[in-house]
Structures are given as C-alpha cells and as structure tokens.
Amino acid sequence: MSDPILSVTDLSVRIAGLHILQGVSFTVAPTGVTALLGRNGVGKTTTLRALVGLTPRGGEVSGSARFGDRDALHTPTHRLVRAGLGYVPEDRCVFAGLTVAENLRLAERPGAAPAYDRVYALFPELDKRSRQRAGTLSGGQQQMLAIGRVLLADNTLLLVDEPTKGLAPKVVTEVAEALAAVAEEVPVLLVEQNLAVVRRLARDAVVLAAGRVAWTGAADKLLGEPELTKALLGVGSQGVHA
C-alpha cells in the first residue's frame, strides 16, 4: 500500500480561547477523494485552514501534519503552495473587481507553465467570460473560477472546502463532474455537505464531531448505513446535513 500524501496527527487548534480541534488524526490516500464530514461547527474548515497555515492571528496550533516530506504546520503557506498544495476556500474568494482572466493570471506560479488548456477544458464558461469581471459572475461561475485558479498549476494534493455550497442543482452536477475528472490525476481532501456529491466522488471518509475524529472508513460504508449516517451527520444517507 502506498504511503499517504497527508498524515495528520493529534492536530489541535485554539482560536480566541475556544478549543476547536482536539487531537484530530487522519490520513489522506495518494489517490482519489477523501471526504471530511461532520455537522456544522465541528472544525472541518478550521482543519483545512490549519493545514495551509491560514489559522487566524493569535490562534494556537499544535500536533503534526506531514505533507509529503514536509511538516505542513511549520511551513509557510507560499512554500506549501509551491510544493503542490492547492486550496479552494469555502467562500470562493475571487477578486470581484478583476476580470476572470486577471483572476487566473494572479494564480500563475513562478517558473511553471500555467495549464490554461486544462482549466478551460473543465470549465469552458471561464474561457467565454475571460473579460468579464468576477464580481458579476453567478455563484456557480465564481466557484468554477476558484477551482480553476488552483488547477492552473500541477498539484500533488487539493484541499477543497464545500465547493457546491449554495449552487443550483445543474451547477452542482457540473462542479462534481469537474472534481471527478481532477481526482483522476490528483488526490483531494474534500469538505462537502451534499451527500449525493460525497457518494459520487469519495472513496474514503473522515467524520468530525465536537472537534474530534468520530469515524473513519470507506465512504460507501458510511453512506450505505442510514442509522450510522444519521448518528454521525444528523441526516439519513439520502439527505444533506446542515
């Protein structure tokens, strides 16, 4: 069995006096999608932000996270990015006043040829709207742009936070299809509330509860047992948890 691309051990995060993560440990396989699940407020986004060095100022982080041969918790964010760690934040964070093309240009990495062909093949809409200001795009188009920025470079791991949040069903399908294509080439750690998307994309699952890991295993096992899904996520396996 291949070594994990990411190994998180005893990760703890305190922010403004709140102990949000309390000894979280899990691994991400070097292929496929690992879903990081849980009810609202259990620390999913905090986990991703801690892994890329974006914990709010004054936050306290302890434990370890090995990204390849690097200690992610003690490596500056820009160096992690250059090493192939891509991050798509929960709220897209596009530059509203810049065009689509300008948003993408800002994501180019020094010394690397940007993969515009790959981005436009996955999201043709971005090519069509390259001169349009990002702030005038629909929510789905902004999400495509947020993912596209990361995909300009060759990555060894992607962290993707709630990519289908607030999107129309048709756009959810388009984003899920794009992520499925991406996951054929690069492993993904995915935070997602739409369990239908999780069922489609994820091979492995990690469930957080109250800042701790409550369950790990195969995603199809979790979603195939309604009582287990309801106990861990608060909904049946066909639903979407809050």
pLDDT at res. 241: 36
Query: Strands, DSSP E only, in 16-147?
Result: 18-28, 33-37, 60-67, 70-71, 85-88
Question: pLDDT below 50 — which residues of the chain?
Answer: 237-242
In-domain check, residue 239 = no
What CATH number corresponds to the domain at position 119? 3.40.50.300
Alpha-carbon distance of 237 to 220, in angstroms, equals 10
Q: Which two three-digit tokens encode residue 177?
A: 């299809």
> What is the pairing mode between strands 33-37 and 18-28?
unpaired
pLDDT at 92: 84
Q: What total of structural domains would you count in the chain?
A: 1
* Side chain identity at residue 240, one-letter code: V
Q: What is the pTM of this model?
A: 0.93
Q: What is the pLDDT of residue 138?
A: 94
Sign of CA dihedral 60, 63, 67, 72: positive
Residue 242 in domain: no
Rg value, the chain, Cα: 17
- How confident is the model at residue 91, as a pLDDT? 84
pLDDT at 112: 84
pLDDT reported for residue 1: 59
- Does residue 241 sit within a domain? no
- pLDDT for 2: 82
User: Measured in whole angstroms, how far is the alpha carbon of residue 65 from the centre of its chain?
Assistant: 16
Residue 25 lies in a domain: yes
For the chain, where are the E strands, in sequence order? 6-15, 18-28, 33-37, 60-67, 70-71, 85-88, 157-161, 188-191, 204-209, 212-218
**pLDDT value at residue 58:** 79
Q: Is the dihedral of CA 218, 199, 222, 28 positive or negative?
A: positive
**238 in any annotated domain:** no
The pLDDT value recorded for residue 236 is: 57
The range of the structural domain enclosing residue 141 comes to 6-233
**Which positions ≥6 away from 108 have C-beta within 8 Å?**
114, 152, 153
